[in-house]
Amino acid sequence: MTIESRNPATGTLIESFPAHDTVAVTTALGEAAEAFRSWRMTPCTERAACLRRVAAILREEKTALGGLMAREMGKPVVEGEAEAEKCAWVCEHYADHGEAMLAPEPVATDAVRSYVRFDPLGTILAVMPWNFPFWQVFRFVAPALMAGNTALLKHASNVPRCALTIEEILHRAGTPRGVFRSLLVPSSRIEELLGSPVVKAVTLTGSEPAGSAVASLAGRLLKKTVLELGGSDPFIVLDDADPLHAASWAARARAVNSGQSCIAAKRFLVMEPLGDRFVAALHAELEALPVGDPLDRATRVGPLAREDLRRDLHAQVEATVRQGATLVTGGKPIAGPGWFYPPTLLDRVRPGMAAFDEETFGPVAAVVRVSSEDEAVDLANATPFGLGASLWSADPVRAERLVPRIEAGAVFVNGIVKSDPRLPFGGIKLSGYGRELAAFGIREFVNIKSVWIGLDVGQKP
């Protein structure tokens, strides 16, 4: 079997790779287990130094890495360079703060001394998607390796060169052999990997069906899971907001990564009487976005990563229009080579329509007009997903009062949802469970161990 890398801007084959066979997978598992024995005992200062060297390589080579992402999955090259920078940031963040996050915590009990310590679990399997092919790996790898774990990556099959490049960077930075390996295998072999006694836990970023399947298997095996799945994030515009300012940020939120982001705003809940002005402004903003070759530094919207993704997105747009929404702009695949889809605006979307009920993974914005704060909150929560949400208002205090009512793992007031190494990241409902980043993330894959120390055997109580 071969794994292919195709340029989504042209549809042409870039290169192909032989999938790792059973011998190669078995060898990687053995090396990961062996490496864990020494890596777990490596001082935090040495692990941190390794992460800093990784960060330096990422920054020095961000131009080449941005080009790689553009060619392999269609990300606009400027965004790819920013992604490499962000990966460097997360490595440095855990290098700077990981030791303190893992420091034993004293607890007063009836013991002479008692405390909680955080020990690594072992080898963690990471099943990662294509849309942020470096960031979603590094936001797991940096805390996992800093905690003393080893890692195996099963990356999305359409970004094999990204997967191998990540492994190469870690090795060049001095990570011992076996601490991190990329396995070029199809999804059908995840069960084999997770079933290995070497693998102690699994983290998955991807679709809800993929998360459900992996969680079900991990549950039978009694192995820890962290899942970051889909999202249909609401973008609530209250009636005191500036509609032009909100629309400008709405376009940015929807167009990031050509709309292929779990935390991109997808449903724009706008209070009347701002509806017409917001739609007109968002229309203008979307039409002004340059669409084209992702290697062109002026491009803001590149191709979708695969032909089937464009086909599915277009079907959702057509269904939503049939169900009564108004197509303001876009809504038709761009003719020619590659898998391009234009920035698309749907107005007067309601529950029961495809663009409201389903996650749209592409540059399609669905505007929902609401009459009150309560309706905005109710419709924001009227989704099986719960990843992120943003609220826009001239009065941040007013917006913040709504935060406890929003069913999401993150709520941003007057800002678009983003991941930040300093804050925990993750969702609720069908958006998954567990957290990445911050201290919460580094403690997901550790043994939270209680230690109780009494009197010496020879001493009287």
pLDDT, residue 1, reads 87
- Among candidate residues 79, 228, 285, 359, the one labeled active-site is 228
Higher pLDDT, 456 or 41: 41
- Enumerate the domain spans of the chain: 2-229+431-451, 233-413
CATH fold of the domain at 233-413:
Aldehyde Dehydrogenase; Chain A, domain 2 (3.40.309)
pTM over 0.95: yes
pLDDT, residue 460, reads 63
pLDDT, residue 371, reads 98
The stretch 197-223 carries a mean pLDDT of: 98
What percentage of the chain carries pLDDT values higher than 70? 99
The stretch 177-195 carries a mean pLDDT of: 97
| Residue 107 CA, distance from chain mean position | 35
Using alpha carbons, select from 450, 367, 458 the residue that is nearest to residue 111: 450
Euclidean distance between CA atoms 120 and 445, whole angstroms: 7
Those residues whose C-beta lies under 8 Å from the C-beta of residue 146, and which sit 6 or more positions away, are 44, 47, 48, 51, 94, 95, 98, 102, 442
Q: What is the pLDDT of residues 26-39, one digit of tens each?
A: 999 999 999 999 99
Structure tokens at 5: 């890398």
Q: What is the mean pLDDT of the chain?
A: 97
Other C-beta atoms closer than 10 Å to the C-beta of 20 total 20
Q: What CATH architecture is 2-229+431-451?
A: 3-Layer(aba) Sandwich (3.40)
* Position 459 pLDDT exceeds 90: no
The stretch 413-437 carries a mean pLDDT of: 98
Q: Is 262 a catalytic residue?
A: yes
* Position 458 pLDDT exceeds 80: no
pLDDT, residue 456, reads 75
Q: What is the pLDDT of residues 40-55, one digit of tens each?
A: 999 999 999 999 999 9
Q: C-alpha angle 124/128/134, rounded to 5°?
A: 105
- Among candidate residues 262, 358, 359, 373, the one labeled active-site is 262
Using alpha carbons, select from 304, 131, 101, 307 the residue that is nearest to residue 228: 131
Buried-exposed string 278-307: b where 16+ CB fall within 10 A, e elsewhere: bbebbbebbeebebbbbbeeebbbbbbbbe
pLDDT, residue 455, reads 84
